Every structure is written in C-alpha cells, then in structure tokens.
Amino acid sequence: MKTTYLLKSELLKGGLPLATPLWLAPLAGVTTPPFREFFTQLGASLTHTEMVSCAGLVRGNRRTLEMLQVLPTEAPVVLQLFTGEADLMVRGAEAALALTASGKAGPFAALGLNMACPMPKVTKRGAGAALLSSPETAFRMTREVRSLGLPVWVKMRRLAEDDRTMEFVEGLLRAGADNVCIHGRTAAQRYEGRADRQVVLDAARRFPEKISASGDVREFEDIREYLEGGCVGVMLARGALADPWLFPGALALLGCSVSPDLAAPSPAERFERLASLGERAKSLVGERQAVLMLKHLTFGLLRGINGAAELRCRAGCSKTLEELLKVFQVGALQSLEDKHVSASVEWKGEEMGRKGIS
C-alpha cells in the first residue's frame, strides 16, 4: 500500500498549512524570489530566504532590505535571520515585521533562526553554528522571537556528542521553537564527510512532530528514510541544485499528485523550464545575478552526458544569459543523442542475442 505523506496543519505548532513534507532550505546566493518561485512550481511547499543579517535590517541596509521581497506566486516563505546577539535578533525580526506590516516586505510564514552556518565569516561574529556553543543565548533568541507572534523554525547542526545535540534541541523546543531542522554534520565538518542521519532520526523519535532533516539529501531513498524515521519534513539544499526535479520525482513516489511532465521531464522540457527561469530571474534581479544563480544548476543539468566537462567550462565562462542558455541547449540535445545511441546499442544487442551472435 502506497503511503501518502501529507502534513496536517495541526501537526505543526503555529499552524503552517503545508501540503507536502519537501521544503527548500536557505541557500546563499540562490534562494531569491525567482528561484523560490521556480522550486515552488516543482513542488516545494515551503521555502526560505537567503540568510538575512539582523544588523543589516536594523541599519536599513539597501541590499539587506532587498532580500525581504516575496512574490505572490511563491510557496510560504521562512525569513532566515542570523546574528550572534539575542537583542539584535529581536530588533532585526521586529524591523522585518514592521516592513511586512506596511506592505514593503514579505509576507513571511515563519521566522527562521540560523544556528547552522559553519562559515568563518559568520561564526566569527558568534552567529550561525557558533550559537551551538552558546546555548543560553540561542534559547533566549528563540523565546523572545517567538513572542513576536510568528512560528519560529530553527536550523541547526548536530553537536559533537549526541547527548548534547538532544539537550540543545530540547532547550530550543522548551523556548518555543515550532520546528527544529537538524543538519547531520557538525560545524567542524562544514560540508565535508557524510551527514550523520542517526542523530537526526533519534531526535525525531524523541521529539515527535517537531524535527525536520537536512544534509546529504540527494535521492528519493534519502527522503524516505527520514520521513519513515519520524521527521515531519525534509529540507533540500545542494541536492536540489544537483537535481531540481528531485522535488516532483520524490513527491510522485510518495503518492502525491504530480503531472508527468514534472515527475519525469524530457531534456527538452528541462531546458524549457530553465530558460523560463533565466528570463524570469533576469527581469527581477538583473542579468548578472540571473546568470550567477543559474550557474548553480549547471552541474546537475549536464551530469552524465558526453562532453559534460567542456560544457561545464563553457557555462562557467558565460557572461550573458544567452550564452549560458546556449550551453544548456547543447546539453539537452546531447542528452537526447546519448539516449538515442544507448537505445540503438541496446536494440542491436537484443538482435544479436536472438541470432545467437556473441
């Protein structure tokens, strides 16, 4: 019997009515409005902004404020905030909510507190994963931001010891966190090595309906393991960049209603959607930024085809959207040719077998 993984809003404290358990994680330089809209179309029922600096919000920094824009065609968006100071976290959240109330930003479904980013430029300020070493500050942030009214979703990494991870999660939940997403790597690992899934699954069993998963989610089996292990949702990050169609493909296998052109698109259909994304991004954020964002999808689109290395090099050197889309188009055509050759070889092999030729 096929299981359909649909969330009920009452399962999530704070009442986020999410249709599916597959969500887009925050990604620096990627999860901008056009990209969030793109992944919404592919089936993400929740997305995140990029990491937004609370200091920038309080100062009214123009670049920071631009990151608060949300399109009406997006899935619910979590505003992902970062700072190392509890007071500044609250002031930043209040500034964002004031802009939302005036119609100049958002709307946002929840406030996200980043306690996961391992990069030195963030952690040296006491922010991101550095908060794992300052639990009282982290818990105070959670408690005070939760008092502002929106659900609070915390993204964290596992600590070096499993029992400390559980204690930290419990502290966040006691402080009012509605959902805790655990990335199975430690801050010291950054993005190297493998994510520890067991600690995430242990937390999901210990804190039912409160834990979502992140880290090394690259195929359907990864998603299924987390969901069957008790996680209420799975956040896709680098796996979504490697294969954006992991969203609809996995949703179809989970029993959700997904149109065939999304679940199993042809190379031409993939190219068409990426071309539309490029034009949409160009109109919203400008050509330079659109090209930079689309390059994040290059590896996944060109993976496994003949001449992929050369095409990736050409994509990396592309300066305009037209140049980059030409590379994608060549990749799509090459993929079709590879499939044709493969099918031809397979057919000839069957013919030779029937004739007793080896």
Active site residues per annotation: 117
Helix intervals (H) in the chain = 33-42, 54-59, 62-66, 86-101, 120-123, 135-146, 162-174, 197-206, 220-228, 238-242, 246-253, 260-263, 267-285, 287-295, 298-302, 308-317, 321-354
Look at residue 265 and give its three-state secondary structure.
coil
Question: For the chain, what's the residue count?
Answer: 358
Asked if 129 contacts 117 with a C-beta cutoff of 8 angstroms, the reply is yes
Per-residue H/E/C for 270-306:
HHHHHHHHHHHHHHHHCHHHHHHHHHCCHHHHHCCCC
DSSP 229: T
Residue pointed to by tokens 């793109």? 38
**338, burial (CB in 10 Å: exposed 0-12, middle 13-18, buried 19+):** middle
Name the token pair of 115. 């306690």
Look at residue 115 and give its three-state secondary structure.
strand
Q: Which residues contact 315 (CB under 8 A, 6 or more apart)?
A: 295, 298, 302, 324, 327, 328
